[in-house]
């Protein structure tokens, strides 16, 4: 079993939303949205050499994976704009479901994070926009 297969198996075996696996380490999370990726980023961890399995990847999460230097990802659901970002950065991606856009948790509109980064193609700009949107949402 390779690292990506191991990450996918772990994602499916428990109630995880994110699994990152290297040859020496496993990182798991049950948090939703981009929060687990921001936590990894804020811990100054780099995911170079990790394979990742994620439940849902929107454009915001895709930019965070670029910053975290991930090279291989599996997603249960991915948006078209997220797929474009990952492909543009030569990140290998396999997925179960491709969707036009990620919906918000109430299914009443689009994901606020994906909407916040809709008009950027720069990962660092996206990070600033993501943090600003999260502050607005939690205020």
For residue 32, the enclosing domain spans 3-138
pTM beyond 0.85, yes or no: yes
Question: Any idea what the CATH number is for the domain that residue 89 is in?
Answer: 3.40.140.30
Please count the CA atoms within 13 angstroms of the CA of 130 that sit on its side-chain side. 23
Summarize pLDDT for 61-100 with one digit per residue, the tens. 999 999 999 999 999 999 999 999 999 999 999 999 999 9
Is the pLDDT score of 54 beyond 90?
yes
Q: How far is CA 116 from CA 10, 11, 127, in A?
A: 30, 27, 10
Q: Give the count of domains, the chain.
A: 1
């Amino acid at each position: 079993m390779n690292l990506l297969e191991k990450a996918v198996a772990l994602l499916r075996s428990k109630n995880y939303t994110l699994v990152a696996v290297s040859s020496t380490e496993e990182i798991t999370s049950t948090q939703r949205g981009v929060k687990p990726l921001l936590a990894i980023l804020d811990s100054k961890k780099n995911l170079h050499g990790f394979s990742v399995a994620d439940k849902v990847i929107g454009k915001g999460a895709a930019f965070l994976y670029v910053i975290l230097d991930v090279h291989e990802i599996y997603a249960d659901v991915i948006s078209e704009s997220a797929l474009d970002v990952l492909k543009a950065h030569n990140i290998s991606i396999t997925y179960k479901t491709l969707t036009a856009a990620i919906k918000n948790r109430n299914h009443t509109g689009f994901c606020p994070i994906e909407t916040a980064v809709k008009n950027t193609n720069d990962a660092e700009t996206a990070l600033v926009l993501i943090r600003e949107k999260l502050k607005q949402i939690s205020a």
